[in-house]
A = this chain, B = another copy of it.
Amino acid sequence: MKTIEELLESKGIRVTAMRLLIYKFLTEKQVAVRLSDIENAFDKADRTTLYRTIKTFEEKDIVHQIDDGTGITKYALCENGCTCEIETDLHLHFHCNNCNETVCLTEHKIPQIKVPDGFVSENVNLVVKGICDKCSGQ
């Protein structure tokens, strides 16, 4: 079990107070977060720093971006050892139409999708929308 410091260093980025805080915030959240969510959590920090931090995390495969159709990009921590490769790491995302939250269903890999001749599939974005487990009352 790596510490956060060790993880950041292993990804080749420097350990700073802000990065530790944001990483910790992401681990505690069980859902994908928008930049404004992080802003609200750290209202003393500058928005630009948060933005650049999350972009750095994204480049280093620490978080992945999620486009759930709300028009606002969200971010969530990658699984341990994730390299954001298609075969192994691509999972589906669920967006709740009731609470408006989006979660990673990391154990649900995306099925093979057939495309017509001449098309080459490199990547798949799959978002299921509906009612989440918390909101379905079960």
Binding site for B on A (CB under 8 A): 67, 69, 71, 73, 92, 94, 97, 105, 108, 111, 113-133, 136, 138
Would you call A129 and B125 a contact (CB within 8 A)? yes
Distance between Cα atoms of A109 and B64 in the complex (Å): 27
Give the residue name and chain of the B residue nearest to A132 (CB): B119
| Residues of the B chain whose Cβ atoms lie less than 8 Å from the Cβ of A92 | 113
Answer whether A129 and B119 are a contact pair too, CB < 8 Å, given A67-B69, A113-B92: no
Interchain nearest-CB distance for A101 vs B (Å): 12
A69's partner among B121, B125, B128, B132 (CB-CB below 8 A) is B125
Would you call A129 and B122 a contact (CB within 8 A)? yes
Answer whether A118 and B130 are a contact pair too, CB < 8 Å, given A67-B69, A69-B67, A73-B71: no
Would you call A120 and B136 a contact (CB within 8 A)? yes
Interchain nearest-CB distance for A46 vs B (Å): 23
Interchain nearest-CB distance for A113 vs B (Å): 6
